Amino acid sequence: MTGTNSTSPNYVIVTDQYWDGLADNPLGATEIRVENGNITAIATTVDHSNAEIIELKGHTVTPGFIDCHVHITFCEGDPTIPENPYMVTVPLMTLYSLNPLKILLMNGFTTVREVGCPDPEFITVDLKKAIAKGWIIGPDLLVAPHLISAQGGHGDFTSLVAFQFRPEKFEVADGTAEIIRIVREEIRSGADWIKFCATGGFSSPTDDPSQTTYSQEEMNILVSTAKDFGISACPHAYGGEGVQRAVNAGVRSIEHGNLASSETLQLMEQKGVYLVPTQYTVLEKARNANNPEYWQNRSPWQHAKYQKYASQLIACADNLAKSNVKIAFGTDAGTFPHIDNWKEFPAMVQNGITPLRALKAATTVAAELLMQPNIGALAVGKFADIIAMPGNPFEDINVTGKVDFVMKRGVIYKQPSGGQV
């Protein structure tokens, strides 16, 4: 299996239910012809000549899913990987990434945006290249290599590592001159996106998610420096002030935003800024804030913060469902086991987001956010990123966790018979 289009045979996918990523409902029976990694025909009947026929009866065929917020070098919750992710070597962290990459692809996620590695090296840039060359198996990657942070902010990991590590190694930058240098270094080294901390967070021990950790001037210069190179920014931001500053600085998406008020969401809507709400992990913790058993093997600082903000997090999820903000699917997988990233779908629906909006968030809306016109929809000329699941996700969103057919760029990686690479 090379993972390259040049060696892909032609296929005709036959299904009695498909959804193109755009329609309000599934569109019924169809056939999809795939040639050289691209979709070349979609119709009730297509040309079968010189093609392998793939029968997917009883399935719903959809575009490959897109997860806009993952951490492939984190493996939190995986009992086979107990080491502190901030203390392991570059080769070990790279090896840790290989299984999560395969897991995400087998879950039906044919493209993911990787939004920050805690190591000073550019691991994810090299992993992206390795996937593109077919050396390793995984989704197509777009990468924000590191999390740019103010000292004492969410991305300043020095409180979690030995003091011989200098903060600069972890992309800590204060003031406009340092910020400009760090942004340019990230882009020079292969960044597709620039990630920065607009606020504190829940998982870090020394800050608070309501704190705004960069000034408006610092955010402005960070975002504008990236834009000069044609690169967009996607800040980690929870609290309203941090979200507002980031939006006013011109970011393309907000990551998390789970403490944003209705007024802040309206500002995002007016500015056309996407929200990647990572609701599964955030709301699960919020709803278990006063459950001591849930927190037995989790950090005490996270527990204290979720106890403080639980009611606000739940209220803000309701506000998001009632808003018209453009929601793009993202999970924060890596801060919980990657195998569970599909659970973002039922979490969104549980929190009042319709199945259609949730499914579009992981297909067409995600592709729009990532500025990737060749993915996110089933249409002639698009990449053949195609998945299938038994049942109908519009009727039962949980079937998104049962994906048993995965094709990326015309290469089959998983089939209902149980075969996978």
The closest alpha carbon to 115, from 401, 405, 397, 370, belongs to: 370
Do residues 294 and 353 share a domain?
yes
pLDDT digits (tens, 9 = 90+) for 69-84: 999 988 776 766 656 6
Do residues 198 and 252 share a domain?
yes
Exposure string of 391-420, with b = 16+ CB inside 10 Å and e = fewer, is bbbbeebebbbbbbbbbbbbbbbbebeeee
Q: How confident is the model at residue 153 (pLDDT cuts 50, 70, 90)?
A: low
Q: Is the pLDDT of residue 30 over 90?
A: yes
**CA distance readout (Å), 115 to 339, 358, 385:** 18, 21, 22
- Please tell me the predicted confidence (pLDDT) of residue 171: 76
- Please tell me the predicted confidence (pLDDT) of residue 299: 86
3 found inside a domain: no
pLDDT digits (tens, 9 = 90+) for 228-244: 999 999 999 999 899 99
Amino acid at the residue 354: T
- Please tell me the predicted confidence (pLDDT) of residue 77: 67
Amino acid at the residue 109: F
CB 112 within 8 A of CB 192: no
Element spanning 15, H or E: strand 11-15
Domain membership of residue 383 as a residue range: 9-61+376-412
Q: Is the pLDDT of residue 388 over 90?
A: yes
Task: Tell me if residue 261 falls in helix, strand or coil.
Answer: coil
Do residues 56 and 69 share a domain?
no
pTM confidence score: 0.93
420 found inside a domain: no
Do residues 52 and 95 share a domain?
no
The residue-averaged pLDDT of 339-358 equals: 98
Terminal C-alpha separation, the chain: 8
If one counts the domains in the chain, the total is 2
